[in-house]
A = this chain, B = another copy of it.
Amino acid sequence: MTIDELDARLITLLTNEPRLGVLECSRRLGVARGTVQARLDRLIARGVISGFGPDVSPAALGYDVTAFVSLEIRQVAGHDPVADRLARIPEVLEVHTITGGSDLLCRVVARTNSDLQRVIDVIVGVHGVLRTNSIIALDTPVPYRVLPLVADVPRREGR
């Protein structure tokens, strides 16, 4: 499961200018259109590219507060039932099961700090949740990105 330098250039190009069509990509990369098409199909088939969904910014929707909430749960029932219930809360954007003192880590958004309290209350109210610990993200100096990784892979692997 690795990618080529051409793959990396293609992904980089598409990341920077997502609206580009296949034809335009082929021009920019200096290869035939069929090649770009084949590469893209393969990347998608292999799951490297999982989609081209619109990137929605919660902040633009008024959800200015981001927090990481770690949960301790009653473990007798396992993680999944709790995760399922958490998944029903729109403000819960992501849930991981984790190592360490807690059992689950959630990324949560809210409109304001007091709205965050409301969301946390909802989380605490989830059956199986024993206690929570919240950490607010004050700022995000490095927003989520994968590009450096993509650019790095061909360098690490056989070139």
The 0/1 profile, CB within 8 Å of B marked 1, for residues 44-83 of chain A is 0011111111111111111100101000000000011001
Instruction: Work out how many copies of this chain go into the complex.
Output: 2
Which of B49, B66, B96, B137 contacts A54, CB < 8 Å? B49
Binding site for B on A (CB under 8 A): 1-3, 11, 14-15, 18-19, 43, 46-63, 66, 68, 79-80, 83-84, 86-100, 105-107, 109, 135-146, 148-153
Which of B53, B88, B106, B137 contacts A18, CB < 8 Å? B53
Which of B60, B91, B97, B138 contacts A141, CB < 8 Å? B97
With both beta carbons as reference points, the residue of chain B lying nearest to A94 in the complex is identified as B144
A146 pairs with B60, CB closer than 8 A: no
